[in-house]
Amino acid sequence: MPYLLGIDTGGTYTDAVILRDEVEVISSAKSLTTRRDLAIGIGKAAQSALSEAAINPAEVSLAALSTTLATNALVEGQGESVALIFIGFSQGDLDKHGLRDSLGNDPVLELPGGHNYAGNEVCALDTHSIEKWLQELDGVSAFAVASKFATRNPAHETQAMKLIGEVTGRPVSASYQLSSKLNGPKRALTAVLNARLIGMIARLINRASHILADIGVQAPLMVVRGDGALISANQALEKPIETILSGPAASIVGARWLTNIDHALVSDIGGTTTDVAVLRDGRPEIDSAGAQVGPFRTMVEAVAMRTSGLGGDSEVHFVSEGLAGRITLGPKRVLPLSLAAQEFPAEVHDALDAQLRNSVPGDHDGRFVRRIGINSPSGLPARDQALLARIPKNIVPIADVIKARIELQALSRLVSRGVVQMAALTPSDASHVLGKACFWDREAAEKGMILFGRRRAGSGEKLAQDPPTMAKIIVDQLTHQTVLALLEVAFVEDPLDFGQGPEQLARHILTQQGLNQHNGLLRLSMGLNVPVIGLGASASSYYPDVGARLSCDMILPKYAEVANAIGAVVGRVTMRESGSVTAPSEGLYRVHLDQGPQDYNSEEMALDVLEQRLREKALCKAQATGAEDIQTHVAKDIRKAMAENREIFVEATLTVEASGRPRIAHS
């Protein structure tokens, strides 16, 4: 029987499982995620799972990796510096779909050019300006290229790609290679995010492959795509954006395998994010509008997943508005105080004790920082460089390195660049104080609760009088934000037209009173009509209260804490290729291909040519991934209109899907 190794690297833990022939879990293991080098945690988890299963690493016939790295990077605003070449777009297009926000301070070159809807060139591409601009750039790790109507004719994108390769040798992300759909600014956003992730994902996959080989695993590594399908490591290196929601997608596949439930909401809580999706007819819903991660709506096909910056390691923030103070959690992840104290006991406890002796609470009590990068990244502003130079590798209180409030912005930028890490109070610390977890340093968590509870609301009262009270406030807030996340998905997926957005509806007074089961002159009741499958290492600690609040069944299956790793190896290889046929004039049918448009005089011939090309590409990619028993399915959307009492062809979109199990799993 073949043995399958599934690995999931999350924000806090890296999980590994060994399955026997897709039927039985025979071992599972966890290791702390090593953010400075994720492959170290991958190797430790895999080695532990192999040892527990008592099998030779060479017996593993399939290794697959799911990861929240790309998702967390986009949610937390991390990634490398990139540059965008924006061709043929109108003034103001940079402000659409969050494109300008995704770029931040990264350089952009806007040029005339591009093509029209029919794929005809608007004007020639100014390659001289591109070459000159490239020679003047510095500190850019990768490039994104987007041209207007590139899905109709990618000639200008391919020209720009070639120039970038010749002048810089840097990786290039072209929008037409990531999506066949229209909407240029949204494709440009997707290309920018893809470019930003290239170096990060490449380091993970290359190091993971090497470390698995070092422990004796000979099977090639596969990666989970954002729709739950498996792709080869090389394909993930080319299009790292497709791995956003990789971990959450694997969790949906794993949830279905663990429970055999067809209809449910699946909520997976990790260290950094909570991911909620719909399981319908035994399959995850696919987001037709493209994956939404944090503030960005991409054009990547992925599970219809709502990802929020809420996890066991989300930072606790104090909100002082009004007479009664309150807290909120996330969206960024920090190192829990209890874990920081386990790694640096003297430094953390000495600092916490000193802060507790102060009669007046400080703004940064219970917050620490350490350097995790080896070298300073290129392109840092002078203020950021000066601050980074003061941050040691050993952990120190933030107040020791911050000289002025304006440097807090610089610190945030350094965290986003992944070169420093903050430690602070989190729900994980609250779990240790309440006895729901016992992995790390409970005493440090209690000291952190005391420090945080000393903050005073507008009324002058302390936020909390003792550590258990503060810890319960934090856990109650996590329950509240999880309930909101589940309700938002339910309001999106329910076919009723409520006239408001899901965020407003989830927070509406009637919804909240319905959750409270209000029983006065009015009787209000609100809850979920489907079960919730709770996944994640901390699900058993937090989710029973969530189920009670929503008046629904909360299912916490065995191995829920490693569902992502299970889903990584029970998925299928699935490749989709889409293309279109348009009609520039009556009797002329234009097939839009990667090589450029081709014209035919017959609708049937044009559709046949497109289907054949798409089928060849999908099959070729599935075979390159190592799939066997491949089945193909063709979906056609042919749009016609009536004019002068006769039917006129307008446009057709074809999608070919090739799907099969990885061949190596059966070898």
| Angle ∠(94,96,97) on CA atoms, nearest 5 | 120
For residue 209, count other CB atoms closer than 10 A to its CB.
Answer: 18
Three-class secondary structure of residue 347 per DSSP: helix
Residue 666 is predicted with a pLDDT of 42
pLDDT at 376: 66
Which letter, b or e, does each residue of 579-589 get, where b requires 16 or more Cβ atoms within 10 Å of its Cβ? bbbbbeeeeeb
Segments making up each domain of the chain, as ranges: 82-196, 314-475, 573-666
What pLDDT does 1 receive? 65
CA distances from 385 to 80, 373, 411 (A): 16, 13, 10
- Cα–Cα nearest to 580, from 153, 87, 89: 153
Q: Contact 388/407 with Cβ under 8 angstroms?
A: no
Q: Is the dihedral of CA 518, 524, 529, 535 positive or negative?
A: negative
Query: Six-digit token pair at 351?
Result: 């600092």
Task: Identify the bridge partners of residue 399 per DSSP, sorted by sequence position.
Answer: none
Helix (H, G, I), strand (E, B) or coil at 600: strand
Contact 341, 441 (CB under 8 A): yes
Cα(508)–Cα(342) distance, rounded to whole angstroms? 42
Is 559 in contact with 257 (CB distance < 8 Å)?
no
Give the predicted TM-score (pTM) of the model.
0.76
CATH of 82-196, one of 1.10.3210, 2.60.120, 3.40.50, 1.10.1660: 3.40.50
Predicted pLDDT at 664: 59
Within 13 A of 533's CA, how many CA atoms are on the CB side? 29
Query: Rounded to whole angstroms, how far apart are CA atoms 510 and 51?
Result: 53
pLDDT reported for residue 375: 63
Asked if 547 contacts 554 with a C-beta cutoff of 8 angstroms, the reply is: yes
Phi-psi domain of 596 (left: phi exceeds 0; alpha: psi -120 through 50; beta: other):
left
Cα separation, 289 vs 308, whole angstroms: 18
Place of tokens 């386990």: 342
Contact 462, 454 (CB under 8 A): yes
- The pLDDT, as a whole number, for residue 487 is 96
- Looking at residue 285, the DSSP 8-state letter turns out to be P
Any alpha helices (H) in 79-183, and if so which ranges?
A: 99-103, 127-136, 155-167
DSSP states of 183-216: -HHHHHHHHHHHHHHHHHHHHHHHHHHHHHHHTT
Cα–Cα distance, 206 to 217 (Å, whole number) = 14
Q: How far apart are CA 205 and CA 231, in angstroms?
A: 12
Using CA atoms, how far apart are residues 402 and 412, in angstroms rounded to an integer?
12
Q: Tell me, what's the pLDDT at 451?
A: 97
- Which token pair is 664? 């190596």
Specify the fold of 573-666: Translation Initiation Factor IF3 (3.30.110)
Q: Which residue, 411, 140, 189, is CA-closest to 292? A: 189
Distance of alpha carbon 570 from alpha carbon 567, whole angstroms: 5
Q: Which residues of the chain have pLDDT under 50?
A: 665-667
CA distances from 429 to 314, 415, 442, 632 (A): 10, 21, 7, 50
Contact predicate 485/532, CB 8 Å: no
151 and 162 in contact (C-beta within 8 Å)?
Answer: no
* DSSP per-residue string spanning 218-283: -SPEEEE-TTS-EEEHHHHHH-GGGGTTHHHHHHHHHHHHHH--SSEEEEEE-SS-EEEEEEETTE
